[in-house]
Structure formats: structure tokens, C-alpha cells
Amino acid sequence: MENLEKLNQDGAPEEVSVAPTEMPELESDAVPTMETMEDPVRPGDPTFDEIWNDDFFKSIGMTPEEEPASEKSSEEAPEEEEQQPQEEQPQKESWQKGVLMYLHDLAYLLAIIVVVFLMLFRVVVVSGSSMKNTLYNGDYLLLLGNLFYREPEAGDVIVASKDSFKDGAPIVKRVIATEGQWVYIDFEEGIVYVGDDPHSMQALDEPYTTGPTTMEEGVKFPLKVKEGCVFVLGDNRGDSKDSRSPEIGLIDEREIMGKVILLFYPGKDNSGSRDYERIGAVS
């Protein structure tokens, strides 16, 4: 230690030596810890709960449940990165599920369309030349089924199935007269007469025929059409088996398969070619 000067009574300095002070050594287990430190809170000081209350958090724009944005974002960042692949997978599954549902609904819709089509319509192919020049052999026709076609009218082109003719093979003919009407054919003049009374029949205007009706086939005229029946003829009067023949005779309305409403694919005409301009409604 340094020597300190001390003035004696004579004013002369006197050297005084100061013994060095030794610092007490602290034992390692004597270091104060949080448990051994005394509570610095003094009586009257506010407690922790009183300081960190709801008003304090509101004053700094936070709620007690919130954490600092920096800590929260740093903790949630890895979680968000892990969630991204998990979110892409549900989106892919949702897209696949949507496609399957669309195909499922489309299949049901097509099935309903087919069922309705079969109930309402039929498709037949013309065989023979009895309806030239309106229809030709090989024409594809669309019929309005007899489920909804129940009142045949004169002029309608129909398809019927007569058990007495070729074991019920479909035939295409034109309705000439309906139930209760009278029919008379002048085979010498080739003119067809129709009326509600045998004494007031009128000659038909038939621009659709290929020629006059001069061929007899066995049925006697005048003839009254029975109830629930129709009288039919082919447009090609010189080459048609129809109601003039006892083999066919009158057609019962229950034997009618339907009314021809559309020619949608033409067969070959007299020249051997297909005339696509013929596609359309049949009258």
C-alpha cells in the first residue's frame, strides 16, 4: 500500500503506513441467486398484475392474449411453410372431385335424355318404293311415338304394324280417311273421294302421288271407315299394297306405331344418289 504523509504537532510530515486491507473471499455457494435475493418490492409499490393489466395492453395497442408481431411471425413462419403443401393437396382433391361429380351428372342427364327419347320418338328405315316420291327406300325417319300420337288426321304419314301383312312388318302409308268417314275410288278416272256422307263425298287434291289411283286390289267401294280405324294409301299408287287390299284393309289405331315427323338421313333416289336437301319435316 502507499505511504500517506501525516503532519505532526511540529508541522513536519510524518510518514504513516497503512496496512493493506484484505478482501474477503466469497465462497462459490455464497453467490446470491434469484431465490436468495430479497424481494426488492417495497410496501406500497404496485404489483406486477396491477402494472400489466388490460389498460396497459390497450394503451400500447395490444391485448393480453397477443404476442409481439416479430415473435409471432418468426414462430408461425415455419408452420405456414409446412401448411402450403397440405393446402395444395386438398385443392387438387377438390378439383378431381368436381370433375367426377360433373361426369356423374352428365351420365345421368344422358340417361334421362335417352329414356325420354325412346318414350317420345322412334327411328325407322323405309323399305320399298310404295311412298315415292315422298319417301325413298333407305330413308331414315323419326317418328312421334303412339304414346303421344293418339288422334290420326287425314294427310298424316304414319308407320303401322299389321299382323296380317308380312307378320307385322312395319309399313309406311298416308292416312286418307279417319273413323266415320266414307271412301270411294273411281278406278277409271283414278280419283279418290272422301266425305262424312256417301252422298256428299269430295274428290281429294293429291299432289303428292306419282299418278292416278287406277289399280284395284280387291276391296269394294264405297267404304265406311270403322270406329277406331283409318284408311291408308301409299303415295306411289301403282306400286303400293295398302287399304285397297284385303290383306291390309283398315288400320286399327292401336296398330299405329307413330307419325313420321322428320326425314333425317336420305336414302338413294331414282338417280342412285342421296339428295340431302330432302332432309326435313315430312308432309
Which of helix, strand or coil describes residue 86? helix
166 is catalytic: no
Residue with cell 426488492: 40
Cell of 186: 273411281
Catalytic site residue from 28, 70, 127, 130: 130
- CA dist 56 and 71 (Å) reads 20
273 is catalytic: no
- Alpha carbon 68 to its chain's center: 53
Catalytic site residue from 162, 173, 240, 259: 173
Contact 192, 213 (CB under 8 A): yes
Neighbours of 261 (CB within 10 A): 17
Which of helix, strand or coil describes residue 265? strand
Catalytic positions, please? 130, 173
